[in-house]
Homo-oligomer: A and B are copies of this chain.
Amino acid sequence: MPRLDDVARAAGVSKATASRALSGASGVAASTRERVQRTADELGFRVSGAARRLATGMTRTIGVLTPSVNRWYFGSVLHGIAHAADAHDHDVLLYDLGAFGRGGHEKFERFMTRGEVDGLVTITWSLVGGDLTRLADLGIPVATVGEPTRHTRSFALDDDAAGEQAAEHLVRLGHTDLLHIAAEPEVQPFEASSSDRRERAFERVSARHGLRMRPALTVPTTLEGAHGVVREVIGRADRPTGIVAGTDEVAMAALLAAHQLGIRVPEELSVIGVDDVPAAAAFGLTTIRQDPAQHGEDVVAWIMAALDDPDDEPDRSHTAYSPVLIVRSSTAPPS
């Protein structure tokens, strides 16, 4: 495995010049640069990332802290991050924290002592406030995606708007008796969670239009977890005419339950979700779309920009994405 020394010697220049030539730094004659480049290719030279790291202090790596990897939202964000990082020639180091409390926090501590990354993105729910501030003090760009937070730069769907749009859609169709089913995050979020915000937006719409008030219902986030509860609820005699679900998973659970109970959708029951997961189309689910992969790309773009800047003031602003209503066949006027 040839080293920079070898390339330099073969090209008849010093290590210093060879380094400059190959890294694209200025102060090298075009002819020299080209010659060095060529001999490097011929020798099959590849810089040692380890040496470069040691010398520059840069890792060309961005870390991702996530509570999960095989859920649509997290996976999509991760996909966007991976794509954008690759475009910037950076690696992505994955920290799958798992459920917080069940070993998740130890993994976080390990990350704090080991992790060597140039930038960091935490996907919501992976951390509590105190940990977030510790990260923010790490001296590297840190951003959160999934929820707004004042501790770091953040990117997230505008949950208020999403909740309002979902409810308003059903109201416009003529519904007056709606039930909101929130998806409960596995870990207690440190600030108002997405589902809290969506739920409160729903309540605002309810109040505004004088809808029937029903007690709040919260179910597990996953389709399978939500299914049993939702089924029990919509099986009751006084079920609402429409359901506003906090997420598509919950909405699909409702669709499934309705089917199993013989309740026709949308004739007897309207259902709307939030997310627009891929399966939503097959379910004919009306929903509020968001694009997490885009969030992932944007957060990387921000980190790259922050890396370029001398970073005067830490940027802790928030980017809210506008939701968009996708109407399919799970919603209709009440009969």
Q: Which residues of B contact A93 (CB under 8 A)?
A: 61, 91-94
Give residues of chain A (264-305) contacting chain B, Cβ–Cβ below 8 Å.
278-279, 281-284
Q: Pick the contact of A92 from B46, B76, B94, B223 — CB < 8 Å?
A: B94
CA distance A54 to B59 in the complex (A): 13
Q: Digit string of A85-124 for contact with B (CB within 8 Å is 1, else 0)?
A: 0100101111110100000000100100111100000000
Interface residues on A, range: 35 or more
B69 adjacent to A72 (CB under 8 Å): no
Q: Digit string of A68-82 for contact with B (CB within 8 Å is 1, else 0)?
A: 111110111011001
From A94, A252, A281, name the one whose CB has the most chain B CB atoms within 10 angstroms.
A94
CA distance A116 to B60 in the complex (A): 12
A335 within 8 A of B: no
In angstroms, how far is the closest chain B Cβ from the Cβ of A160? 26
A38 within 8 A of B: no
Q: Which residues of B contact A16 (CB under 8 A)?
A: none
A256 within 8 A of B: yes
Q: Which residues of B contact A51 (CB under 8 A)?
A: 54
B223 adjacent to A278 (CB under 8 Å): yes
A256 adjacent to B282 (CB under 8 Å): yes
B110 adjacent to A89 (CB under 8 Å): yes
A256 adjacent to B278 (CB under 8 Å): no
Chain B residue with minimal CB distance to A70?
B75
A181 within 8 A of B: no
Q: Which residues of B contact A98 (CB under 8 A)?
A: 79, 83
Chain B residue with minimal CB distance to A54?
B50
